[in-house]
C-alpha cells in the first residue's frame, strides 16, 4: 500500500502543535506525580538496597496525596472538555442557521468548516482528559501495588518474629 508522505508530514506537523498544548495541560496537573513516580522508578532500578517498610509507607502516602489533588484536576479538565464541546456545537448551529443558500450538505460542510478551531480546542481538552484519567488509574494501580507490598512485608516480618520466638 502506498501512503502519501505529504499527508503524513502534514498530520505530524499539525499534531505536534496540539501535542505540545495537551502536554502543557496535562503536566500542570501531573508534573509532581510524574516526577515522584520517576524517582521511585530510578530508586528501584538502582537496586543496591532493599526498600524499607518506612520507604514503602512514605511512597504510598505521597502517591495517595498526589491522587487526591489529581482527582480534582481530572474533573476540571473534563469540565473544560464539555464546555469546549458546547461552544463548538453552538457555533456550528449558528453557522448552519445563518447560511441561506445551498443544499443541506452544503450548509453542513460550511458549518463544519466554520467550527474547525473550536473542534481543535475540543480535541485538546478531550485528549487531555483521557490522558489524565489514564494517569490517575495508573497511579491508583501503583498505590495498590505499594499497599500490597507493604502488607506482604508486614506479614513476612510477623512470620519471622513468630519463628524466632
Predicted confidence at residue 49, as pLDDT, reads: 75
Task: Check pLDDT > 80 for residue 164.
Answer: no
Query: In sequence order, which residues have a C-beta less than 8 Å from that of residue 143 and are 6 or more positions away?
Result: 60, 63, 64, 67
pLDDT for 163 equals 81
The confidence score (pLDDT) of residue 18 equals 92
% the chain with pLDDT above 70:
99
Tell me the mean pLDDT in the region 37-53.
Answer: 85
Nearest to 117 by CA among 9, 4, 5, 21: 21
Q: What is the mean pLDDT of residues 90-105?
A: 95
Domain ranges of the chain: 5-164
Q: Is the pLDDT of residue 162 over 70?
A: yes
Amino acid at each position: 500500500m502506498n501512503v502519501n508522505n505529504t499527508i503524513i508530514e502534514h498530520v505530524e506537523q499539525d499534531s505536534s502543535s496540539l501535542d505540545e498544548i495537551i502536554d502543557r495541560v496535562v503536566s500542570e496537573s501531573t508534573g509532581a506525580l510524574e516526577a515522584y513516580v520517576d524517582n521511585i522508578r530510578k530508586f528501584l532500578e538502582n537496586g543496591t538496597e532493599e526498600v524499607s517498610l518506612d520507604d514503602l509507607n512514605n511512597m504510598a502516602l505521597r502517591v495517595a496525596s498526589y491522587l487526591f489533588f489529581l482527582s480534582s484536576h481530572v474533573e476540571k479538565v473534563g469540565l473544560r472538555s464539555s464546555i469546549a464541546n458546547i461552544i463548538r456545537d453552538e457555533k456550528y448551529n449558528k453557522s448552519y442557521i445563518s447560511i441561506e443558500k445551498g443544499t443541506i450538505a452544503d450548509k453542513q460542510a460550511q458549518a463544519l468548516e466554520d467550527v474547525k478551531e473550536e473542534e481543535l480546542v475540543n480535541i485538546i481538552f478531550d485528549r487531555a482528559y483521557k490522558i489524565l484519567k489514564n494517569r490517575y488509574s495508573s497511579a491508583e494501580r501503583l498505590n495498590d501495588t505499594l499497599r500490597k507490598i507493604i502488607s506482604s512485608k508486614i506479614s513476612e516480618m510477623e512470620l519471622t518474629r513468630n519463628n524466632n520466638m
